[in-house]
Amino acid sequence: MTAVAPKVEKEEEQVVNPWEVSAGKGGIGYDKLVDQFGCQRLDAATIDRVARLTGRPPHRFLRRGLFFAHRDFNEILDLYEKGEKFYLYTGRGPSSESLHLGHLVPFMFTKYLQDAFKVPLVIQLTDDEKFLWKNLTVNESKRLARENAKDIIACGFDVEKTFMFSDFNFVGGAFYENMVKVARCVTYNKVVGIFGFSQEDHIRKISFPPVQAVPSFPSSFPHLFSGMEQLRCLIPCAIDQDPYFRMTRDVAPRIGCQKPSLTESRFFPALQGESTKMSASDPNSAIYVTDSEEEIKKQVNKYAFSGGQDSAELQRELGANLEVDVPVKYLNFFLEDDDDLEQIKKGYGDGNLLTGKVKNLLGDVLSELVKRHTRARAQVTGDG
């Protein structure tokens, strides 16, 4: 007799790295990620401290726990409290014509941090990364970088305090010296352990991580930070970028540099739901900042996964499941007013609001956001 193995419902494994984000039906387990990656949770005391030090109300991404994790953010705040400055570093891998709404999250947060702390910012466009990972030519990657730069400038950074560069144009000199120093400290085994590269991956993928690591060090930018080699760096990003900076923090003291600090966000979900992020690799998952009002409303109405019930009667009786509802999750990111948000959540959860109404509200909020962005983008000249 052959034994039949009992059927066990296997928990779907979640994958979060710079190139892939996927999880089971329950969505991404952020608590699990914090433990797995070894970062810290961003607690209420730290958020209060940011508000106190900057004299500004905390950004809605902080109030609502959307930036939820960090690495040594408190050390940056300690220094700032003593009157010392730091600089910000963030970036974009230009893989599409324009940014999608998920990409706006770290850039909006970075703008808030730059305004609140009045600090310099460097922005890296990893056109080389996208050449290596996507099927793009060098020229196409560079063109996308220029297009994406316009969307980034439209976020409104302080031009006097911001330096944006593309790797293809900028890597060399002190930046390259730091890349080589980092690379010498990271073995093949280590990089495979952190990023999961396989034997079939080409060698330039395996040697890419130092390129994203070294903007964390002020000595990579002598034209900006000469004589300030120990200036601390704070990196706002979503948690998918954490592996790069785990590696960077591991290497930093070995080459006489300060470890960068990080603030890390949850993902703005795909239209289809929280089991993955909004991603340029899957155009159906995304709303772009260049989409028209009509397109945005159509996308929301047609594709945004709803936690509402199938019929108006059932919705009135049972209310919506807010845990899985994409429109409510999007409003959580982009509707500024806390009271309005609470009212919508309550009405929708109780069954007084129908799905169509909530989707219409979201369509209005996103259209307004994208219109503002389009106006700002139209002012960008393309010089420089």
Residues in contact with ligand TYM by the rule CB under 6 A: 18, 89-93, 102-103, 105-106, 124, 126, 129, 212, 235, 237-238, 240-241, 265, 267-268, 277-278
Helix (H) / strand (E) element for 15: namely: strand 15-17
Where do we find the tokens 């991956």?
201
Query: What residues are paired with 257 via a beta bridge?
Result: none
Question: Mapping DSSP to helix (H, G, I), strand (E, B) and coil, where does residue 266 land?
Answer: coil
Least distance in angstroms from the C-beta of 255 to ligand TYM:
19
Cα separation, 131 vs 126, whole angstroms: 9
Is the torsion defined by CA of 263, 50, 260, 143 positive or negative? positive
Least distance in angstroms from the C-beta of 122 to ligand TYM:
9
| Rama region for 382: left / alpha / beta (φ>0; ψ in -120 to 50; rest) | left
DSSP 138-200: HHHHHHHHHHHHHHHHTT---GGGEEEEEHHHH--HHHHHHHHHHHHH--HHHHHHHH---TT
User: CB-wise, 286 or 354, nearer to ligand TYM?
Assistant: 286
Least distance in angstroms from the C-beta of 103 to ligand TYM:
4
Least distance in angstroms from the C-beta of 244 to ligand TYM:
7
User: CB-wise, 264 or 309, nearer to ligand TYM?
Assistant: 264
Least distance in angstroms from the C-beta of 350 to ligand TYM:
29
Least distance in angstroms from the C-beta of 91 to ligand TYM:
3
User: CB-wise, 77 or 270, nearer to ligand TYM?
Assistant: 270
Least distance in angstroms from the C-beta of 346 to ligand TYM:
26
Where do we find the tokens 């209005």?
364
DSSP 41-55: E--HHHHHHHHHHHT
| Residue 354, φ and ψ in degrees, nearest 5 | -95, 160
> Which of 72, 161, 176 has its CA nearest to residue 128?
176
DSSP 196-224: ---TTS-HHHHT-HHHHHGGGSGGG-HHH
User: CB-wise, 18 or 319, nearer to ligand TYM?
Assistant: 18
User: CB-wise, 126 or 275, nearer to ligand TYM?
Assistant: 126
Cα separation, 383 vs 267, whole angstroms: 32
Least distance in angstroms from the C-beta of 241 to ligand TYM:
5
